[in-house]
Amino acid sequence: MMLTVSPNQPAKKQPTMNINDNPEKAAEYLRQVIPMLTKHKVPATPVNYSVWYSYVSGQQLALNEAINNTLEQGKPITSEFCNELYEAYVDGSAMISAQEEIQKKLSKIVTQTIQNVGEACKEAETFDQTLNQRSTQLDQVSDNDSLQMLISQMTTDTRKMAENGQSLQNQMHETKSEVEQLRQELDQVKQAARQDSLTGLSNRGSFDEHMEILTQLPANNSHPGCLMMLDIDHFKRINDNFGHLVGDRVIKYVAALLKQVVGENQIIARYGGEEFAVVMKDTPYEVVLKLAEKIRIGLSKSKLQRKESGETIGQITISIGVTKQQEDDTPERFIERADAALYKAKNGGRDQVVHDDS
């Protein structure tokens, strides 16, 4: 298979690292972050460190794209820019702001609707009083001219009430459309909060939720839930030799391969950086191992080259660790076993599948 790869507000909260990163990964990210801070002459403040930690770990691909685009344009990376990135991508302010804006719009619509309905009720009450008055006047009419005039007045009153009712109906239709639009916007915000921006896969938070739910259910002894942890081999070398934009393209390709092999009905997540996770339920363990091997072979046989130059990127391989759910598993224990199998695959020479029974 041939893949053509193309290169492509001050924070107020205290920064937080991903507590699920194991010590080995955190140490590796530290070794990468410090030289980057020095290279770009950015002080090693907690905010700046958080931004570059997120960058090297790939936790927020929109942040990576923002930094890469700035570097492509030859612009400097300043502390002010890092503050903006932190506020937008690291502490979740952008997502919260979007939700708050939708809530404000919805509150305004509800207030306006209540006001419109209140005015309509007043108009209906006034119309009822007018009808009662016309009824009394009708009893007192003694000549044809007075009767015609009264009928004309009642017709005018009724027409005005009908127009007011139609106006209210039109307003309610507009309100319904606005509420539906806001509902769609809110769905998009919720989806974005659960989705990795680069690959379209589930993100780390969504994966953690799925793991929490899975481990709260009784383990299926016939087909227990299975977890794959996958890590692209020598990915730092790809970034160093070809740039982060090419690295992002490789990550997107791996994500597409996972969808193709595993199927989109399974839980496939971007775990962080060049690492992925696949949760499979109600699937025989032997089938899961065969699918893991199919992923490994499929990637190793792919031929990748740069679009603009035709330069070959070289063989891309992946290491995979697989485990199955056990009784009384917690998400942490479940992930630790798969992670241990993955590191066994990496330490054993990479480009292989290792399961915790091997």
Active site residues: 274
The DSSP call for residue 14 is: P
Query: What does 61-94 look like in DSSP terms, one character per residue?
Result: HHHHHHHHHHHHTT----HHHHHHHIIIIIS-HH
Distance, in Å, from the CA atom of 271 to the CA atom of 202, rounded to the nearest integer, reads: 9
Question: Are 67 and 85 contacting, i.e. CB atoms less than 8 angstroms apart?
Answer: yes
Distance, in Å, from the CA atom of 355 to the CA atom of 305, rounded to the nearest integer, reads: 32
Distance, in Å, from the CA atom of 188 to the CA atom of 102, rounded to the nearest integer, reads: 11
The amino acid sitting at 338 is A
Sequence-distant (6+) residues with CB within 8 A of 9 are 83, 84, 87, 88, 93
The DSSP call for residue 267 is: E
